[in-house]
């Protein structure tokens, strides 16, 4: 076994929603364990990176993108990221897809910390796997901003989207389902959209591009055996690599 590594401090800018933030920590710790095992380090408490989570209230991202007069997320995000930088974090991740609409502005406001980009990390992994066509399950804000479009296009990946009714069903599953604690409703809504996409496009990978979707869809009976892609888990793995490969 190698000696204990010396990772750098990293941060997690969460609260969008709170359950997704907590789940991201689980994914990050699992990714760190995987990194340690792969590089023949002892899996002990002292081998894990120092990591801080800022779990703070942030205005609704989709609503902010639709209505410029609604409360906006940027200032709370800047405050949280600045706090993480002050605690010594040199890289950070946001476990919220829609919040990446403010990625460039947030990185410009807090340049002393490297902010990972979930759509780009997802596109890079799908490209590595040789995927060329996927379906995107996301919020209306993510669709409207095309947050994954450029990343997928740069990686040579075609992305298909649900119709408007499907998008509304996803929003119901996110807000009336996961965020409201009704996982049965969430599973039904997410699985119905996934089934419709699969009926049209075949056994296509489904990219769960909202952090609430992986909290319900993988457990849906109808979704068993479907090729599901979790950008949240890919972001957690990228943050683990950044912690150890500073």
CB 140 within 8 A of CB 163: no
The residue whose two tokens read 């792969």 is 38
75 token code pair = 């200032």
pLDDT tens-digit profile of 149-163? Answer: 989 999 999 999 999
Name every residue whose Cβ is closer than 8 Å to that of residue 128 and which is 6 or more positions away in sequence: none
Give the separation between CA 189 and CA 49, rounded to whole angstroms. 37
| DSSP annotation string for 106-167 | HHHH-TTSEE--HHHHHHHHHHHHT--EEEEE--HHHHHHTTTHHHHHHTT-EEE---HHHH
pTM of the model: 0.93
pLDDT at position 17: 86
Q: Which domains does the chain have, with CATH numbers?
A: 10-117+234-244 (3.40.50.1860), 119-231 (3.40.50.1860)
pLDDT at position 93: 98
Extract the residue ranges of the chain whose pLDDT is less than 50: none
Give the separation between CA 121 and CA 151, rounded to whole angstroms. 9
Give the separation between CA 167 and CA 163, rounded to whole angstroms. 6
Tell me whether strands 206-208 and 133-137 are parallel, antiparallel or unpaired: parallel
pLDDT at position 246: 63
């Amino acid at each position: 076994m190698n000696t204990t590594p010396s990772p750098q401090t990293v941060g997690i800018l969460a609260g969008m929603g709170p359950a997704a933030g907590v789940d991201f920590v689980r994914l990050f710790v699992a990714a760190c364990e995987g990194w340690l095992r792969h590089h023949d380090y002892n899996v002990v408490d002292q081998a894990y990176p120092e990591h801080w989570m800022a779990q703070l209230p942030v205005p609704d991202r989709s609503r902010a993108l639709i209505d410029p007069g609604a409360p906006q997320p940027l200032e709370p995000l800047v405050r949280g990221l600045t706090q993480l930088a002050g605690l010594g974090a040199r890289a950070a991740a946001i476990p919220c897809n829609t919040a990446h609409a403010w990625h460039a502005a947030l990185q410009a406001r807090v340049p002393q910390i490297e902010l990972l980009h979930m759509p780009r990390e997802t596109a890079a992994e799908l490209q590595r796997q040789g995927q060329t066509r996927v379906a995107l399950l996301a919020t209306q804000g993510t669709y409207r901003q095309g947050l994954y479009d450029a990343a997928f296009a740069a990686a040579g990946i075609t992305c298909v989207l649900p119709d408007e009714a499907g998008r509304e069903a996803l929003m119901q599953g996110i807000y009336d389902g996961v965020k409201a604690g009704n996982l049965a409703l969430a599973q039904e809504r997410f699985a119905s959209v996934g089934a419709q996409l699969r009926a049209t496009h075949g056994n296509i990978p489904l990219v769960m591009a909202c952090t609430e979707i992986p909290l319900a869809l993988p457990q849906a009976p109808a979704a068993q055996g479907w090729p599901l892609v979790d950008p949240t888990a890919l972001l957690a793995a990228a943050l683990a690599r950044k912690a150890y490969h500073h």
